[in-house]
Amino acid sequence: MTMINRIDLEAALSKPNLLLIDDSKEDINLLTMWLYRDHQISVAADVENALSMLNEADIPKPDLILLNATSADIEIDQLSQQLNKDHTTKHAPVILIVHDNDKEEENFREDSNAVDYITKPFHPKQVLARVRTHVTLHKQNRQLLKRLKQHTKDLHNSKIQVIQHLHRAGKHKDNESHAHVIRMSLISKLLAEYTEQDQAWVERIFHATPMHDVGKIGVPDSILHKTENLTPDEVRIMQEHTLFGAQILESDNDPLLLMASVIALTHHEKWDGSGYPNGLQTDQIPLEGRIVALADALDTLMSPSHEEATWTEQHIVNYLMEQKGQHFDPNLTDIAIEQLPQIIEILELYPDHEDNNQQYSFFKSTR
């Protein structure tokens, strides 16, 4: 390929893509004659043909659509549905081609959500100006949307980093292993996926779970690391770590921090109301708190360092059935029993003796 041909090809590829839907050869010839220099033009005789073209991978997705407004309403609806299915065409502007002073078509324009219209007989300057305006606006909107998505992603990652650093600070006070936090997060995510929550909620609980005990920062070392039985007053102080954690993570409008705060506050509540700090019961306990409570207990019970390390899978099932409706949400308990093989697999993948830095690299890799 010569340099001139390559430049011509690059210029052609950089042109905006127009999809012209019109059954009038005269209209097509006029519009193509005015627009071809600055645009890549695809032509469809009707909406049905256009729908087929939109489904073809080798045909460029339109940056703007010129549509003869005489098409049947049902065909227009089908076109709109197809455009909205694909994120690359969802915001593509539609300019309707209408007859001048056609009141019926004006009413249709309002119903169609088209961004603009051009009238017949055509005026070249009007056609060029309106197409150029909406192609430019569409390009700007795409750039703004791209920046917004990147900004949202960066902000989300920053919040996750804050949560990880807070947890790291808490590690100076608590002896929880990094692997325990990873396992808890994965078990929480697994349970959440079976509660019919949306995927964004599931991802939030995965990232919020590591902060469940951040409030232990506020508990004196003499109590936190005491090897003998705690006195009643010391038990009360220890239980306040749920309140400290909720206060540290409190947020009015950030979903991730709000969930982390709720988890910190409620993960020691019990289904029968015998938990702390507020003695909540049944579905008074937020779902995320119920999930993390079960995930924490499961990992602790099944950890090799636990005093019941010799428990078999059946021992675990028996314990869960015993605590079903007492400590744990009955529905979540059933899910945990059904998914016990996967939970055991999580424990085997992330044993306690792994490198202490694994938690941070693990959560970084899942963003």
Q: Which residues are catalytic?
A: 216
DSSP characters for 234-272? HHHHHHTHHHHHHHHH--SS-HHHHHHHHHHHHTT--TT
How far, in Å, CA of 256 to CA of 156, rounded? 9
Q: Six-digit token pair at 224? A: 């936190």
Q: What is the DSSP letter of 197?
A: -
Query: Using an 8 Å Cβ cutoff, are 340 and 285 in contact?
Result: no
Q: How many CA within 13 A on the CB side of residue 223?
A: 17
Total H helices, total E strands in the chain: 17, 5
How far, in Å, CA of 267 to CA of 288, rounded? 8
How far, in Å, CA of 255 to CA of 265, rounded? 15
Query: Using an 8 Å Cβ cutoff, are 246 and 202 in contact?
Result: no
